[in-house]
Chain A
């Protein structure tokens, strides 16, 4: 009888222990991502002159757009600034109108525009940046080196 009582007590203790091990606790993980934007310039663009020498553009034959990869959480805006920094040959003394534009493919499709575009959803894109210089009237582009800087902004 004493042996039986001892055995029963041991079984009870084991059960109590098992009940204690069976409890669970949740571990909570929190994370916050604020609006972010990464621009990585892959290639700069190249402009070529048109046959009538009134256009110097990345759209012309032989020209190429600059390419930029954009990665964002969304909640940002993409835009280009008016071109203010240019270098022209000394022989070019007439006015040029510079028009920067961009388009995007990937998570967000943006048809070519010069205006700001709101990006509300996350994703990655390849952004093509174009630049076109034009001269009016009888003005023509001169021979020599041209250089212009386009600012692509994500904010």
Chain B
């Protein structure tokens, strides 16, 4: 119950952009104020290809080390020209502010000799208010 309340409070101050088509991820910048020990960001990965692709969402710190964030969903299939919301809840980890990168990653053409992974990263800044 407490967890649900925490999440709800965090969501009330989350970035809530309007989804846009034909972009790999929006928004790519955001600043979030939260009164709890987590902050939430909603991002919208999009598939600009004319075929379904597998998309993964990862959260990194400023040094590109993985951050233990809750990502819903973290891996999914995205249809052609489609976009969907992904909720990312990032813990402050005892700090009063935290900068993270939320990255949308995909390898649209796997099983080739030299594969290219496209990674679109947004930078988000969470402030913990007391």
Query: Contact residues of A with B, CB < 8 Å?
Result: 34-41, 43-47, 58, 66, 68, 76, 81, 129, 131, 145-155
Contact = CB atoms under 8 A, between A and B. Distances in A.
Contacts of A129: 116
Contacts of B113: 44-47, 145-148
A23 B15 CA distance: 41
A34 B29 contact: yes
Nearest to A102: B116
Interface string B94-108: 000000010101011
A28 B82 CA distance: 31
A109 B62 CA distance: 28
Contacts of B29: 34-35
Given A149-B116, A155-B123, A38 B24 contact: yes
Nearest to B20: A36
B54 to A, nearest CB: 13
A43 B23 CA distance: 19
Interface of B: 17, 20, 22-24, 26-29, 48-49, 101, 103, 105, 107-109, 112-123
Given A35-B29, A36-B26, A37-B28, A154 B119 contact: yes
Pick from B20, B27, B29 the residue with the most CB of A within 10 Å.
B29
Contacts of A145: 113
Q: Is the interface of A mostly helix, strand, loop or mixed?
A: strand
Contacts of A150: 114-117
Contacts of B48: 38, 40
11 contacts: A36-B26, A37-B24, A38-B22, A41-B108, A66-B116, A68-B116, A147-B112, A149-B107, A151-B105, A151-B116, A152-B118
A126 to B, nearest CB: 13
Given A35-B28, A38-B22, A44 B112 contact: yes
Nearest to A69: B48
List of 4 A-B pairs having minimum Cβ-Cβ separation, nearest first? A155-B121, A45-B114, A44-B112, A39-B118
